[in-house]
Chain A
């Protein structure tokens, strides 16, 4: 059964970077795209981008272009999302979620990781 486990909560200062991990288990890591979605209070769910664990190809939301980097380590079945130049508005919960690569990038997300709270404060 597919399962995604994310790294723990992070506290960062404005201007710093944060790197969140998402470890997959229960399936072939390269068979599912990993998407990153964040959930800010009052802003709902916001898609940030995806990574193809097989090729390493990525697609980022325009809003995060230049600030986000998604990578993966196929040897450990782990995907990473790094967000730089953090500001207080980036304080929120970040989720990874999987979608079946056989259906392309336009797909529903299942399952989701448990979420990682990132707090940006001076």
Chain B
């Protein structure tokens, strides 16, 4: 199974500042046949299910604020919140769907400093 490791486990950022979350896969999740990275990012607020933010590592879902951006390729990926807002307090998960079984990172908790 591909292991997804996120860092840090938690971070506290001031309102309006940048938050950066890293996700590393134990093997490449870039498929050569279509040059796509099989990685998604989700946001989960307390008492709610995860919500899709980004897929194909860098494609933002329609309706997601543009302060959220995904980047990276191969085994190293990043989710960046360019200007943290109060409503962004949540746990963020990366998820590979490169093969079966799909797996998730352990989550990164983002709080306000």
Contact = CB atoms under 8 A, between A and B. Distances in A.
Interface of A: 44-47, 59, 61-62, 95, 97, 105-115
Given A44-B107, A45-B50, A113-B49, A106 B101 contact: no
B67 to A, nearest CB: 19
Indicate the member of A108, A110, A114 with the most B CB atoms within 10 Å. A108
Nearest to B39: A108
A104 B95 CA distance: 16
B47 to A, nearest CB: 9
B104 interface: yes
A82 to B, nearest CB: 19
8 contacts: A44-B107, A47-B101, A97-B49, A108-B55, A109-B42, A110-B52, A112-B50, A112-B51
Chain B contact surface mostly: loop
Nearest to A113: B49
Interface string B69-113: 000000000000000000000000101011111111111000000
Contacts of B103: 47
Contacts of A114: 48-49
Contacts of B49: 95, 97, 111-115
Q: Interface size for chain B: under 10, 10 to 19, 20 to 34, or 35 or more residues?
A: 20 to 34
B101 A45 contact: no
Interface of B: 38, 40, 42, 48-52, 55, 61, 93, 95, 97-107
B97 A44 contact: no
B52 A108 contact: yes
A44 B105 contact: yes
Indicate the member of B38, B48, B50, B95 with the most A CB atoms within 10 Å. B50
